[in-house]
Chains A and B, each alone.
Chain A
Amino acid sequence: MPSSRFDLSDLTPGVLAILGILVLFFGLFLFYPLLHVLLNAFFADEQFSIEFFGLMLQSPVQQRALLNSFELGIVTTALTTIIALPMAYALVRYDFIGKGLLGGLALVPMIMPPFVGAIGMKQMFARFGSINLFLLETGLIDAPIDWFGGGGFWGVVILEALHLYPIMYLNIAAGLANVDPSLEESARNVGAGGFRLFRTITFPLMLPGYFAGAIIVFIWAFTDLGTPLIFEFREVVAVQIFNMATDVHANPLGYALVVFVVLVTLALFYLSKKFFGGRHYEMVARGHVMSASRRATSLETVLIWGMLLSITGIALIPHLSVVLTSVTERWFMTVLPSDYTLAYYGQIFEHDLTLLSIKNSLWLSVMSTVIDIVLGVAIAYLLTRRRFPFRDALDAVAMLPLALPGLVLAFGYISGFSGTFLDVRVSPVPLLIIAYAVRRLPYMVRAAYAGFQQMSVTLEEASMNMGAGPLRTLWKITMPLVLANVAAGAILSFSFAMLEVSDSLILAIKEQYYPITKAIYSLMGRITDGPYMASAMGMLGMILLACSLLFTGKVLGKRMGQLFKV
C-alpha cells in the first residue's frame, strides 16, 4: 500500500542503520570508483578536457581494439541469435519426448566459463591440434587450417557464442512464452501464415525479450577479458584496459577506455528501456487460451533432437577437450593423447602456485560470499518487508552490477584506491573480496528476494505478536524459512567468485595473491606442463560450478532462469 507517511515500525533505527551501511558500501565500492574513473578521464591537470578521448581515437592500436571489440560483440550476438532462435522456438512451441532433458542439457554450456573452455579449444583447434591432425591424416586437407582466423578473432567469437547462447535462449524463450497464442491465431485467421506470421506478429511481440538477451550477450562479448587473453587476441578493448591497469598513473588513456565501455553499456540499456521499457504488451484477452505448445510430428521430433543435440554437443567440445587435456600424459602431433595420466590432479595440490591459488580463491570466495549473504539478505528484506524512501533506487543499485562489466569495476578499484590502505599493490585481498562480493550480489539479492516473497508476512507478524522483537523474529522465523533460498544464492555467489576472471586478472598483481583464474592464466604461459595443469584446475572449477548450479536449480526450480535476466 502506498503511503505518504511511514509507519513507526518502518523507519526504525535498525532500518536506518542498515540503509546507512548500504549507502556507505555502494558509495565507496560502486559509485566512487566509477566517479573516479570518470573524473580522471575528463580532467587532466584539473582542467576539463576530452583530450584522452582524442588520443584514444587517434592511436591506431586503440582504433583497432575498439573496432575489434565492436565486431566481437556484434558477431557474437548475431551468432547466438542464429543458434538460440530456432532452439527457443522449438522448445517453447513443441512438445516432444525428452523435452525437459534436452532443454536442460542445452543450458549446460552457460555454466562453463569460456576462459577455461578456451584452453581446451586451443588444444583442439590449434595449427597442429587434434582437428587439423585428424583432417591431415585422413587426407581431407593438405595444409593445416587456421581455425581461429584473423589472429584468433573467430576463436574468441565461437567460444563466446557457444558460452552465451543459453542466456539468449532463456530470454527469447521468456519473450516467446509471453506471446499469447490467440494473437497468432487471430493473425492466421485473417490470412497471415508461415514466415509472414512470424515476421509481422510473433517477432515484434517477442522483441523485448530478445533485446534483453542481446544486450547481455553483446556487453559480455564486448568486455570479456579471459577468452581473448587465452587466444592472445590482444587488440580488444578489454585486453587494452587490462594492460593499462598495471600503470594507471603513467598512462591516463585507460580511463578514457573504461569510460567508453561504460558509455556503450549505458547507451545500450538506455536504448532498450526507451524502446521497450514502456511497451508492455498486455495479454488481456483471456477466455479460451490454447496451449502454447503442440505435439511435434515424428519428423519434427527427429529434426529438433538433431538440432538440440548438435548445438549442445558442439558447445561442449571445448570443455570435453579440457577434460582430455587434463588427463593427458603426452599429446603431441597426435589426434588424441598418446598417454593418459591423473597425475596433474595430484600436482595441482602440490605445486606452489596452484595450491596457493586454490587456497587464495577459497578464502577470497568464502569472505565475499559472507558479505553477499549479509548484504543480500538485508537488501532483499528491506525490499520485500519495509517501506522507505528511495526503495526503487536501492533495488536498481543492487542490480547494477549485473550490467556493469567486471573490467570497469576492477579498473576503478585500481585507480580509485591507489595510494590508500586498500592499494592493490599493498595487498589486493580486501578489494578482491569486495569486487567478488559486489559483482555477485545481484544473484544473492534475487535468490533471497524470491524466498521472502514466498513467505507470508503474517508469519513474522505472528511472531512479533507472540512477543518476539524484530531481530529474534528474523532469526527464529524468517531465516529458517528462507534458508534454502539464501543457501542457493550463497553457493552460486561462491562458485562464481571461485571462477571470476576479470577482477582476478586485474586486481591480483603479486603471485602470492593469485586466485585460481589468474593461476590458470599464468600456467598457460608455461610451455611444458602448463596447459595440462591449467586444464586440471579448470576441470576442478567446472565440477564445482556444475554441482552448485545443480543444487541451486533444485532449490529455486523454475525461478532459476530469473537469476540470469536483466
Chain B
Amino acid sequence: MVSLTLQGITRKFGDVTAVDDVSLEITRGELFFLLGPSGCGKTTLLRLIAGFYAPDRGNILFDGQDVTRTPPHRRNTGMVFQNYALWPHMSVWENVAYGLGLRKVPSSEQKDRVSEALRMVRMDAYGERSPNQLSGGQQQRVALARALVIQPDVVLLDEPLSNLDARLRLEMRDEIRRIHDETGTTMIYVTHDQKEALSMADRMAVMDMGAVAQTGDPRSIYARPVSAFVADFIGETNFVAGRLTSAETPLSVETAVGVLHSTVEPAEGLSPGDEVVCSVRPEAIRVSEPDAAGGEEENVLDGVVRQTVYLGDHEQYSVRLDDGTLVKLVDHHPGRRRAGPGAPIRLKCDASQVVVLGKPG
C-alpha cells in the first residue's frame, strides 16, 4: 500500500478539458472518494492513476516515486471496473489467479491466496463457475477479489456499485468498507452517489467540471461546503440569496426576507457588497411559533406553508418565503403538525448553521 500524490494533473480530450489542474494528497491506507456528477472527470482521473491515460501536464507519485510515464501493467494497481470486466473464457478461480500467475507466484501460494481472496468476498464456493453464471453482485465480488489478490499498492474502484440494485448496493457498501478495514489497503473509489461517499469515505474530493471543488472528510464537507455547487451536490440544502453587509464575524447578509447572520468563517475572500447565497440545511431550520415571545429575534424567516409530508419518524415542510423563495425543512420530532398548508409560519436557524457562499457564476 502506498500514499498517492497528484500534482497539477491536466488531461484534455480534443477541446474538452476532462481533468483540469488537479492536485491531491491521498494518505496510506485511506479510503478516498472521488465524488461528482457525471462528466466531472472523476473516472478520467482514476484512469490516469491506473495508467490507461497519460496526463497532458502534471505528475502522479506513488509513495514519492514518479509513475507518470509508467505503463499500466507496471503500476501494481488493482482496478474494479464499472462493468466488472471479468474474462468470460476463464473460470472465477482463473480470473482471480491471473494476476498472481503474471507475478510468478508459486502455485501452492497462488492456491492459498486465491482461496483467501475469494473467502474475503464470500465467493469461495464459486471458484469453478464461469463469470456468465454469476449474478451482478457476485461478479462484483469476484472483480474485487481479483483486484485484491495481487496485494496492489492501491485499489481503484470505478463506480463499482452502479450496476447493482438498491438493496445489494447497501449491502456491498458495508462489504467494501469491511474489506478495506481488513486489508488496510489504500483505496480510491469513484462514485456519483453522495450517500455512498458520505457513508463510506475517510476523505473525499468533490469534483466539478474537471477540477476539485473541495477536499475533506464527509462531516466537514457536509457542514462547511466551500461553494454553492458543493453545498447543493452533497445532501440537500436551501439557498437564500442576498448581499453581504458585514464581512466580519458574525457576517450579516441582507436578503429580501430580512437579515441573516452567520458565525461560520467564509471559505473564500468575501467583501461587503458582494452578491452571496446563504446555505442552510433543512435539518438546521426550526419552526418558531409566530408572535410567541415577541422582541428582536435573529435569523428569522417568515413564510406560508405550501406542503407537508409526514413520514413517521420525521416530517418535511415546504415553505414559500415572502419573496417567493422555496425553503425545505425537516422536523425530527413530528409529534404534532406545526402548521398546515396555507398557514403562516416563522422559521429560525442558528447563526452557526448558516454558510455564506459566493453566488455561483
A residues sitting closer than 8 Å to B (CB atoms) are 1-5, 7-9, 456, 458-459, 461-470, 472-473, 476-477, 480-481
Contacts and interface: CB of A to CB of B under 8 A. Distances in A.
Contacts of A3: 12-14
Nearest first, the 9 closest Cβ-Cβ pairs linking A and B are A466-B99, A8-B54, A458-B85, A462-B85, A464-B72, A2-B14, A465-B79, A467-B102, A1-B13
Interface of B: 12-14, 50-54, 56, 69, 71-79, 81-83, 85-89, 98-99, 102-103, 146-147, 150
B87 A462 contact: yes
A433 B53 CA distance: 40
Contact of A462 (B69, B74, B81, B89): B81
30 contacts: A3-B14, A4-B12, A5-B12, A7-B54, A8-B54, A8-B69, A8-B71, A9-B51, A9-B52, A9-B72, A456-B83, A458-B81, A458-B83, A458-B85, A461-B50, A461-B52, A461-B72, A461-B79, A461-B81, A465-B50, A465-B72, A466-B78, A466-B99, A466-B146, A467-B76, A467-B99, A467-B103, A472-B102, A473-B73, A481-B88
Contacts of B54: 7-9
Given A9-B52, A9-B54, A469-B73, A463 B98 contact: yes
Contacts of A459: 85, 87
A470 B82 CA distance: 22
B159 to A, nearest CB: 12
A9 B73 contact: no
Contacts of B79: 461-462, 465
A419 B1 CA distance: 66
A458 B50 CA distance: 12
A463 B88 CA distance: 13
Nearest to A5: B56
Contact of A466 (B12, B83, B89, B150): B150
A462 B131 CA distance: 14
Contact of A1 (B14, B51, B71, B89): B14
A468 B73 contact: yes
Contacts of A476: 98
A68 B13 CA distance: 55
Interface centre among A2, A463, A466 (most CB of B within 10 A): A466
Contacts of A468: 73, 98, 102
Contacts, number: 85
B98 A2 contact: no
Contacts of B71: 8-9, 464, 469
A456 B103 CA distance: 25
B202 to A, nearest CB: 23
A387 to B, nearest CB: 11
A481 B89 contact: yes
A464 B85 contact: no
A462 B87 CA distance: 9
Contact of B73 (A2, A456, A467): A467
Given A466-B98, A470-B73, 13 more contacts: A7-B53, A8-B54, A9-B52, A456-B85, A458-B82, A461-B81, A462-B79, A462-B86, A465-B73, A465-B75, A465-B77, A465-B147, A466-B78
B56 A467 contact: no
Nearest to B152: A465
Nearest to B75: A465
Contacts of B56: 5
B259 to A, nearest CB: 50
B188 to A, nearest CB: 13
B83 to A, nearest CB: 6
B53 to A, nearest CB: 6
Contacts of A477: 87
A452 to B, nearest CB: 15
B79 to A, nearest CB: 4
A5 B18 CA distance: 13
B111 to A, nearest CB: 18
A4 B69 CA distance: 19
A458 B51 CA distance: 13
Contacts of B86: 462
Nearest to B150: A466
Interface centre among B52, B83, B150 (most CB of A within 10 A): B52
A468 B76 CA distance: 10
Nearest to A455: B88
B305 to A, nearest CB: 42
A461 B89 contact: no
Nearest to A465: B79
Contacts of A467: 73-74, 76, 99, 102-103, 150
Contacts of B73: 464-470, 473
B76 A461 contact: no
Given A2-B14, A8-B54, A9-B72, A465 B89 contact: no
A376 to B, nearest CB: 21
